[in-house]
């Protein structure tokens, strides 16, 4: 007799119509994790998971499927979005709208344990920490809500004084995961593409003569 205690058998499931994304550095479409969300007006919108470990996003923005082989860590867009998510979840920023319905078209196991340390400077309200040091939060005030945040349309490296803003839609499931409306994905990929290319260094104008251009060298007088 075999004792019960073998590997867990997860239910077999099938995925159809999976979204594949190409662009930026790659012309090869790669599968992306998506979530279908029904808004308050009963229209359904796809939201795409944006994360540093998503192969399609790394390939499009850095040309590599391995984060450690790229400069993706120098990009900041995802961190900026997470700061907004945390502030909305904690009630620091005003939240408009009620929770909406998300279709069960993604693996819920992906979200287990996804709430961890929030981005630096996010002003998180903590409930406390247990003896193992795991952070615990109050219940998210923005869970299952579609929110609109205003972000600079161009990254700081391209335009340090950018005042043109873009309204970006996010679907909030927790304080860490970024689910971005598919309508904003092309913009986000270009933003991250530019940040990765410049590696956090501001772009220099073509007519900039560079450091020391204003220094006048003295010419020794003849005999």
pLDDT tens sequence across 143-198: 999 999 999 999 999 999 999 999 999 999 999 999 999 999 999 999 999 999 99
Range of the domain at 78: 20-111+140-198
Structure confidence at residue 34 (pLDDT): 96
Would 120 be classed as within a structural domain?
no
Structure confidence at residue 158 (pLDDT): 94
Would 212 be classed as within a structural domain?
no
Structure confidence at residue 112 (pLDDT): 34
Q: Is residue 124 scored above 60 in pLDDT?
A: no
Q: Which among 34, 36, 69 is positioned nearest to 52, based on CA atoms?
A: 69
Would 185 be classed as within a structural domain?
yes
In this structure, what DSSP letter does residue 216 have?
P
Whether 122 and 137 have beta carbons less than 8 Å apart is answered as no
| Antiparallel, parallel or unpaired: β 20-23 and 26-31 | antiparallel
Would 28 be classed as within a structural domain?
yes
Total domains in the chain come to 1
In this structure, what DSSP letter does residue 197 have?
H
Name the percent of the chain lying above pLDDT 90: 51
Name beta bridge partners: 171. 146, 179
Structure confidence at residue 70 (pLDDT): 83
Per-residue pLDDT band for 109 (boundaries 50, 70, 90) equals very low
Kindly state the average pLDDT of the residues 94-105. Answer: 73
Would 209 be classed as within a structural domain?
no
Structure confidence at residue 2 (pLDDT): 59
Whether 71 and 58 have beta carbons less than 8 Å apart is answered as no
Would 210 be classed as within a structural domain?
no
Sheet strands side by side (includes 165-172)? 101-102, 34-38, 44-50, 178-181, 165-172, 145-152
Q: Is residue 104 scored above 90 in pLDDT?
A: no
Structure confidence at residue 174 (pLDDT): 95
Structure confidence at residue 108 (pLDDT): 40
Kindly state the average pLDDT of the residues 108-113. Answer: 37
Would 59 be classed as within a structural domain?
yes
- State the Cα–Cα distance between residues 42 and 37, nearest whole angstrom: 9
Instruction: Report the b/e string of 92-110 with b at 16+ CB within 10 A.
Output: bbeeeeeebebeeebeeee
Would 219 be classed as within a structural domain?
no
């Amino acid at each position: 007799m075999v004792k019960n205690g073998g590997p867990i058998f997860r239910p077999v499931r099938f995925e159809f119509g999976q979204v594949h994304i190409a662009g930026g550095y790659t012309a090869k479409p790669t599968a992306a994790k998506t979530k279908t969300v029904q808004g308050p007006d009963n229209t359904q919108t796809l939201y795409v998971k944006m994360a540093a470990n998503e192969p399609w996003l790394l390939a499009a923005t850095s040309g590599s499927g391995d984060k450690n082989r790229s400069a993706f860590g120098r990009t900041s867009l995802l961190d900026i979005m997470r700061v907004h998510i945390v502030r909305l979840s904690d009630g620091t920023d005003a939240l408009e709208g009620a929770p909406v319905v998300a279709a069960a078209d993604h693996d819920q196991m992906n979200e287990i344990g996804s709430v961890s340390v929030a981005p630096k400077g996010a002003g998180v309200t903590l409930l406390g920490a247990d003896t193992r040091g795991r952070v615990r939060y109050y219940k998210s005030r923005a869970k299952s809500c579609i929110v609109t945040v205003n972000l600079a349309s161009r990254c700081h490296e391209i335009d340090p004084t950018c005042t043109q803003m873009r309204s970006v839609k996010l679907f909030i499931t927790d304080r860490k995961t970024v689910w971005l409306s598919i309508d904003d994905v092309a913009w986000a990929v270009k933003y991250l593409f530019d940040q990765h290319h410049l590696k956090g260094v501001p772009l220099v104008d073509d007519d900039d003569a560079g450091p020391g251009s204003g220094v006048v060298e003295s010419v020794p007088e003849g005999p």
